[in-house]
C-alpha cells in the first residue's frame, strides 16, 4: 500500500479516537458518506465557521449574512438548472459491482500523465542540480513532450465529450485508454448513465397529494431568492455581498476519502453582486482575497494552488478552484465563480417578478452580475486536520501524535493540570480554570502522570498547558508549556489572560487579512 494511504488511514483513526469525527449511525454499522462531529470536532468546525463568517461579515462593510431554510420552493431548482442538469455520469464495473464517476476515472487517467511529467522533471532536477532550467526542460525534453502530447489528446477528447454530454464517447474513452477498476482490476464496464444528485422528499399531505421538494444541493440559491429582501431592507448599494453557512445535500455516486465527499455536508457561500462589466475585476479581487484567507492560517503557502477551469458552465465567464494538498493529492476545497446574471435572470423568468437594481449613478436598472465564493466546511476541516497532524519522533524510541492547529482554531485553547491530586493543587487548578473559561475553552485534567496528560492535550491540538505545582501556592506562578516546541516557561497567574489572548485570539488571525 502506498505510504500516503497509510498516513491517511492513521489520520482517520486519530480523528475517531480523539473525538473529532465519527461515522454516522456507527452502532448500526454506519451510513455511507455521512459523518458526525464529536466533542473536539464540533469545536474545530465552529472555529473554522467563525473565522470565515467574521472575515466576511465583519471585515467587509458591504457584506451581510443570512440563514435561509433548507427546504425551498421546488421551482427554484428548475430555474437554477439543477433538476435538468445537476447530474454526474456514472459507470459500474460488473465484476466488483462498484460504481464510479466516469469523468473522475478519466480525470485520474489525465493526472497520471502529469505525474509522469513531474517524475521526469524531478529526476532531471536531481541530475543537473543548481544549473537546472525547469522551464526549458519542460519545453524541450522529448519524453516530457511525448507525455504532454498524449495528455492533451486525452484532455481534448474528454472535454469535448463532457461539453456535448456524449455518454457513449465517455465509455469509449474508458475502453480506449484501458482504464481498469481499481478493485477488480478488470475492464468489464456497463454503459455510462446520467444520475441526478438531488435528494427528493415530500412535504405536506393535501388531498391532491404531497408536494415533492428537494434537500438543497447548495446554499447559494437561498441567497439568490433573498436578493431583493436583503437589498431593500438593508438599503444595500452595489457592490455588496450576502454570506451564508448551511447544510447541503448531494447523493454522491462515489463517496470516498472520508469527509472529503459526503452526502450531507456544510457550505460557506458568499454571493457578491456587482455592476455588469465589472465582474472580472471583482473575480480577481475575490480570487486573491480568498487565497489570503487560507494562507493566513499558516499551514504552508506551497500547499495551495489555483486550478482555473477550462470548461466553464454555460452561464459562467470565469471560474477557479483553490486546491489544497491533501494526503491523496491536490484537491478542491473552494470554488470561485463569475456566474454572470444567470441565477437572478432565471429566477426573474420563473417567478415572473423583476429582480433588479436601480443604479443611482448610472440612472438605470439592471440585473446584477455575481461573483460566488463557495467553500466546504468539511473539506476545510479535512485540509486543516491532515496538514496539522504529525506523528513526531522525539528520539530514544519515543514519539507523540500532535495536531499543530493554528491556535485560534484549536478546540481547546488551554488545559490546566495540577501536578499532583492533593495539597490543594486541584482546587487551585479549578480556580484558574474558572477565571480563564470566560475567554478560552479551558479544561482541567488531573488523571495520570503529567507526561501522559501533555500527550493527551498534544493529540487534540491544545496549544497551551498550564501546570500547577507547589510553588504556585507560594508565589502565584505556573508553568506554561507550548505544544509545538514543548518548551516550558514560568509565568505569573495574573498574566495568563494577556499571554493567552495574544496567542490564541481569532482577532489576531483576522488582523492578518487587512
Q: Which stretch binds ligand ATP (CB under 6 A): 22-30, 173-181, 326-334, 477-485?
A: 326-334
Q: What's the closest the beta carbon of residue 321 comes to ligand ATP, in angstroms?
A: 7
Of residues 268 and 493, the one with the C-beta less far from ligand ATP: 268
Q: Which stretch binds ligand ATP (CB under 6 A): 199-207, 328-336, 345-353, 471-479?
A: 328-336
Residue 362: Cβ-neighbour burial (10 angstroms; 0-12, 13-18, 19+): exposed
- If one asks whether residue 89 binds ligand ATP (CB under 6 A), the answer comes out as no
Q: What's the closest the beta carbon of residue 157 comes to ligand ATP, in angstroms?
A: 20
Q: Which stretch binds ligand ATP (CB under 6 A): 206-214, 296-304, 331-339, 419-427?
A: 331-339
Write the CB contacts of 43 (distance below 8 Å, at least 6 apart in sequence): 411, 412, 441
C-alpha 373/C-alpha 293 separation (Å) is 12
- If one asks whether residue 339 binds ligand ATP (CB under 6 A), the answer comes out as no
Of residues 335 and 418, the one with the C-beta less far from ligand ATP: 335
Q: What's the closest the beta carbon of residue 98 comes to ligand ATP, in angstroms?
A: 18
Q: Where are the beta strands (DSSP E) in 102-237?
A: 193-196, 199-203, 211-215
C-alpha 415/C-alpha 467 separation (Å) is 8
Binding residues for ligand ATP, how many (CB under 6 A)? Answer: 15
Of residues 334 and 458, the one with the C-beta less far from ligand ATP: 334
- If one asks whether residue 334 binds ligand ATP (CB under 6 A), the answer comes out as yes
In the list 318, 375, 388, 403, the residue contacting ligand ATP (rule: CB under 6 A) is 375
Give the SS3 label for residue 164. coil
Which residues ranging from 130 to 189 are in contact with ligand ATP (CB under 6 A)? none
Please provide the size of the chain in residues.
Answer: 514
Q: What's the closest the beta carbon of residue 119 comes to ligand ATP, in angstroms?
A: 26
Which residues ranging from 216 to 255 are in contact with ligand ATP (CB under 6 A)? 250, 252
Of residues 147 and 250, the one with the C-beta less far from ligand ATP: 250
From first CA to last CA, the distance across the chain in angstroms is 44
Rg from Cα positions in the chain? 26
Q: Which stretch binds ligand ATP (CB under 6 A): 177-185, 288-296, 375-383, 497-505?
A: 375-383
In the list 54, 169, 278, 332, the residue contacting ligand ATP (rule: CB under 6 A) is 332
Which residue in the block uniquely carries the three cell numbers 508565589? 475
In the list 89, 241, 335, 368, the residue contacting ligand ATP (rule: CB under 6 A) is 335
Of residues 86 and 285, the one with the C-beta less far from ligand ATP: 86
Here the cell at position 240 is: 455588496
Write the CB contacts of 230 (distance below 8 Å, at least 6 apart in sequence): 64, 66, 236, 242
Write the CB contacts of 111 (distance below 8 Å, at least 6 apart in sequence): 329
Of residues 279 and 378, the one with the C-beta less far from ligand ATP: 378
Q: Which stretch binds ligand ATP (CB under 6 A): 157-165, 370-378, 400-408, 416-424?
A: 370-378
Torsion of CA 485, 487, 491, 497, to 10 degrees: 20
In the list 14, 287, 379, 483, the residue contacting ligand ATP (rule: CB under 6 A) is 379
- If one asks whether residue 372 binds ligand ATP (CB under 6 A), the answer comes out as no
Q: HEC profile for 293-333?
A: HHHCCCCCHHHEEEEECCCCCCCCCEEEEEEEEECCEEEEE
- If one asks whether residue 343 binds ligand ATP (CB under 6 A), the answer comes out as no
From residue 257 to residue 286, the character string flagging contacts with ligand ATP as x (rule: CB under 6 A) and all else as - is ----xx--x-x-------------------
- Please report which helix (H) or strand (E) contains residue 250, including its range: none
371 has which bridge partners?
272, 338
Give the burial string for 196-211 (b: 16+ CB within 10 Å, else e). Answer: bebeeeeeeeeeeeee
Q: What's the closest the beta carbon of residue 92 comes to ligand ATP, in angstroms?
A: 19
Q: What residue number has its CB nearest to ligand ATP?
A: 376
- If one asks whether residue 463 binds ligand ATP (CB under 6 A), the answer comes out as no
Q: Which stretch binds ligand ATP (CB under 6 A): 114-122, 239-247, 285-293, 372-380?
A: 372-380
202 and 210 in contact (C-beta within 8 Å)? yes
Q: Which stretch binds ligand ATP (CB under 6 A): 24-32, 78-86, 373-381, 465-473?
A: 373-381
Of residues 261 and 483, the one with the C-beta less far from ligand ATP: 261
Q: β-strands 364-366, 357-359: how paired?
A: antiparallel
Give the sign of the dihedral formed by CA 428, CA 432, CA 433, CA 438: positive
Question: 167-176 and 142-163 are packed helices; what angle lies between their axes, rounded to 10 degrees?
Answer: 150
266 and 376 in contact (C-beta within 8 Å)? yes
Please, what is the Cα angle at 434 between 431 and 440, to 5 degrees?
130
- If one asks whether residue 374 binds ligand ATP (CB under 6 A), the answer comes out as yes
- If one asks whether residue 378 binds ligand ATP (CB under 6 A), the answer comes out as yes
Q: What residues line the site for ligand ATP (CB under 6 A)?
A: 250, 252, 261-262, 265, 267, 332-335, 374-376, 378-379
Amino acid at each position: 500500500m502506498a505510504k500516503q494511504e497509510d498516513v491517511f488511514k492513521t489520520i482517520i483513526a486519530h480523528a475517531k479516537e480523539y473525538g473529532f469525527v465519527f461515522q454516522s449511525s456507527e452502532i448500526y454499522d454506519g451510513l455511507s458518506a455521512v459523518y458526525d462531529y464529536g466533542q473536539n470536532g464540533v469545536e474545530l468546525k465552529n472555529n473554522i465557521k467563525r473565522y470565515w463568517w467574521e472575515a466576511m461579515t465583519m471585515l467587509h462593510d458591504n457584506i451581510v449574512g443570512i440563514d435561509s431554510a433548507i427546504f425551498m420552493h421546488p421551482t427554484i431548482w428548475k430555474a437554477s438548472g439543477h433538476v435538468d442538469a445537476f447530474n454526474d455520469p456514472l459507470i459500474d464495473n460488473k465484476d466488483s459491482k462498484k460504481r464510479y464517476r466516469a469523468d473522475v476515472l478519466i480525470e485520474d487517467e489525465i493526472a497520471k500523465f502529469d505525474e509522469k511529467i513531474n517524475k521526469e522533471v524531478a529526476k532531471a532536477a536531481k541530475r543537473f542540480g543548481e544549473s537546472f532550467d525547469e522551464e526549458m526542460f519542460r519545453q524541450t525534453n522529448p519524453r516530457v513532450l511525448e507525455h504532454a502530447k498524449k495528455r492533451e489528446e486525452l484532455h481534448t477528447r474528454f472535454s469535448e465529450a463532457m461539453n456535448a454530454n456524449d455518454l457513449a464517447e465517455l465509455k469509449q474513452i474508458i475502453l480506449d485508454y484501458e482504464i481498469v477498476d481499481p478493485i477488480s482490476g478488470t475492464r468489464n464496464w456497463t454503459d455510462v448513465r446520467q444520475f441526478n444528485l438531488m435528494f427528493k422528499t415530500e412535504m405536506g399531505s393535501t388531498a391532491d397529494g404531497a408536494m415533492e421538494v428537494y434537500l438543497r444541493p447548495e446554499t447559494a440559491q437561498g441567497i439568490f431568492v433573498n436578493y431583493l429582501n436583503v437589498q431593500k431592507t438593508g438599503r444595500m448599494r452595489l457592490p455588496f455581498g450576502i454570506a451564508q453557512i448551511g447544510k447541503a445535500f448531494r447523493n454522491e455516486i462515489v463517496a470516498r476519502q472520508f469527509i472529503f465527499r459526503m452526502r450531507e455536508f456544510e457550505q460557506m457561500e458568499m454571493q457578491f453582486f456587482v455592476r455588469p462589466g465589472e465582474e472580472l475585476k471583482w473575480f480577481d479581487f475575490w480570487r486573491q482575497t480568498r487565497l489570503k484567507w487560507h494562507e493566513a492560517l499558516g499551514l504552508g503557502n506551497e500547499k495551495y494552488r489555483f486550478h482555473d477551469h477550462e470548461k466553464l458552465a454555460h452561464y459562467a465567464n470565469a471560474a477557479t478552484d483553490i486546491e489544497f494538498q491533501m494526503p491523496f493529492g491536490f484537491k478542491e476545497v473552494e470554488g470561485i465563480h463569475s456566474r454572470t446574471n444567470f441565477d437572478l435572470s432565471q429566477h426573474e423568468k420563473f417567478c415572473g417578478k423583476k429582480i433588479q437594481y436601480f443604479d443611482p449613478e448610472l440612472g438605470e436598472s439592471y440585473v446584477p452580475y455575481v461573483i460566488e465564493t463557495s467553500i466546504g466546511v468539511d473539506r476545510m476541516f479535512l485540509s486543516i486536520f491532515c496538514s496539522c497532524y504529525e506523528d513526531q519522533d522525539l528520539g530514544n524510541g519515543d514519539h507523540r501524535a500532535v495536531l499543530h492547529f493554528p491556535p485560534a482554531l484549536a478546540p481547546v485553547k488551554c488545559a490546566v493540570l495540577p501536578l499532583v491530586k492533593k495539597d490543594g493543587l486541584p482546587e487551585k487548578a479549578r480556580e484558574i480554570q474558572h477565571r480563564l473559561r470566560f475567554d478560552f475553552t479551558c479544561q482541567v485534567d488531573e488523571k495520570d502522570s503529567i507526561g501522559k496528560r501533555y500527550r493527551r492535550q498534544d493529540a487534540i491540538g491544545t496549544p497551551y498547558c498550564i501546570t500547577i505545582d507547589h510553588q504556585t501556592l507560594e508565589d502565584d506562578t505556573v508553568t506554561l508549556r507550548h505544544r509545538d516546541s514543548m518548551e516550558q516557561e514560568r509565568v505569573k497567574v495574573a498574566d495568563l489572560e494577556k499571554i493567552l489572548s495574544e496567542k490564541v485570539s481569532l482577532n489576531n488571525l483576522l488582523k492578518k487579512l487587512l
